[in-house]
Every structure is written in structure tokens, then in C-alpha cells.
Amino acid sequence: MPELPEAETTKKGLEIKVLNRTFVDVWSDWKKVIKKPADFGLFKKEIIGKKIRKVWRRAKNVIFDLSDGYSLLVHQKMTGHLLVGNWKIKKSENWEPIDDGYLKDPYNRFLHLVFFLSGDLMMALSDARKFAKAELWKTEELKKELEKFGPEPLDKNFKLNNFIKTFKNKKGKIKQVLMDQSVISGIGNIYSSEALWYAKIHPEKSVAKLSDQELKSLYNAIKKVLELGVRLGGESFSDYRKPDGSKGNFGAERKAYKREGQKCSRCGTKIKRIKIGQRSAFFCPHCQKP
């Protein structure tokens, strides 16, 4: 978390606000957030003066293509989210929004990286658990790095035949394979649980035992839940917020994720939670039989 819909929502929200703006300054009280270059001073020196030419997404990463052949990659990780607005810093080095509105949501107060942009605008990373990362790359080097990710499930080239071929060659439990970013990009704990619920597939089922019909159902379910997630602005059940600080609305559409003990909306059986590889999986034991 955030997953593809949240990263895509972030990308769309930022694109409107920050495109063609220039980095004027950078502040951080948690300099380990910068992973490349590891030295914050060098990162600051290199990014100041760069103009944002493009904002896009690859897998769960938000990417800013900059002038002079550089790109800034931000992975929001578990509790991070990028915000746009204006803040003032207090003596305690805590930031507070200048204006009333969504940015005053308590989940938006953990600012550890702040970019000052031209036109009197700021872009900030709020991250309660400090797992997020920012990296400054040469654009051509980053393109090669991103080749390690699997296909984008909302891309027009994401075809059923290729999906079936990819999964026919995989081993392991379907829940874990869906979350493997080298197999398919952008799917994490939330949307894998949701897609498997729609496809009526048990999260522990071996990929090798899935029929072509089950894979077709899963393919359609993946596209359905991700498109719905993007349309509703992502899932704000926990920390994630959109760039304006407001919540996404996917939470009301959840069928399985974080609904342990609640009735399945399809059959009425109580949703169960199990652990698969240290991660929770939510499913209906009646609809999603092993």
C-alpha cells in the first residue's frame, strides 16, 4: 500500500499541479528517505533547477521526468503519500497547512520530505512509518531499471492470451504470485484479495492447478478491481490520501479485504483471514473453495 490505483491517482493529481514547475529547494528531517544519491546534500544540489517535464507511473512508483535528462522516482511504500499545497514550519520543525481543508487530515501531518516548486507551490511526502523512498536517476538508466517489472495490467497490450501463458509457467500460491512485481505490476495485498474474490479463487490455490477458465475469470477480475480503484481514487482505509489530502473512495466497494468476520456480499458466509507468506489474505470460504 499504496498499490497501482493509489499510485495512478497520485500521478493524475500531481500532473495537474506540478507539470512544468521547477525545483527551487528541498527540505527533509529524515534524510534516509533519499536512496539515490545516498547523500542528501548531493541530491539537493542536483535536483534544484530541474523542471518537471512529465509525471507518470510504473508499477507502484510515481516518476517525474525532469529537464537535463534526469528522473525522480518516488515509491510511497506502506504509509507514504505525496501531497501538493502550501505549509508553514513551526519551531518544532513540524509543518502545518496554511489553508483549511483536506491537508489538515491527521494522516497528512507526517511530512518528512518537502519540495519547494516555482510558482509558490510545495510538494510533500507524508509518511508515518518512514518506509517511502525517493531516488534521482539519469532517465536512460531508470528506463533499464524499470524493465524488471512485469506487464502493466491496465495497459492496452495486457492481453488474455499473454496473461494465461505467463501464469501457466509459474509455481506457488496464486495470492503470492499475483503480488510478485516481476510477474505483474502494481498489485498488492488489497487488490489481490479483491480480484480473487471476484474470480472465486481461493488465495492458497496453486497456480499450476488453475484452469484456463479460472485464469480468464482472474484476468477480468484484475482489470475490474484496478479500474474501479482508479475511478474511485484509491483505498483510504488506512493511511493513503490523494495529493489534495482527501480520501479515496474504494473502501466502500471492498468485498474481501479487511472484512474478516463480515458477511460475504455474494453468499452471506463470513469472510475469513489467513496468513500466506507473512501477509494477510481475505476470502469467502464458501465462494472461494480450495
Number of neighbouring beta carbons within 10 Å of residue 167: 21
* Residue 273 known to be catalytic: no
* Residue 17 known to be catalytic: no
Active-site pick, 11, 44, 58, 60? 60
Active-site pick, 21, 36, 200, 279? 279
* Residue 2 known to be catalytic: yes
Phi, psi at residue 228, to the nearest 5°? -65, -40
The reported pLDDT for the residue numbered 23 is: 98
d(CA 87, CA 105): 13
The reported pLDDT for the residue numbered 238 is: 85
d(CA 57, CA 119): 24
- Structural domains of the chain, with CATH: 4-148 (3.20.190.10), 160-283 (1.10.8.50)
* Residue 290 known to be catalytic: no
pLDDT (tens place) for every residue of the chain, 290 residues total: 799 999 999 999 999 999 999 999 999 999 999 999 999 999 999 999 999 999 999 999 999 999 999 999 999 998 999 999 999 998 777 899 999 999 999 999 999 999 999 999 999 999 999 999 999 999 999 999 999 999 999 999 999 999 999 898 899 999 999 999 999 999 999 999 999 999 999 999 999 999 999 999 999 999 999 999 999 999 998 899 999 999 999 999 999 999 999 999 999 999 999 999 889 999 999 999 98
The answer to whether the beta carbons of residues 187 and 176 sit under 8 Å apart is no
Sign of CA dihedral 96, 101, 106, 108: negative
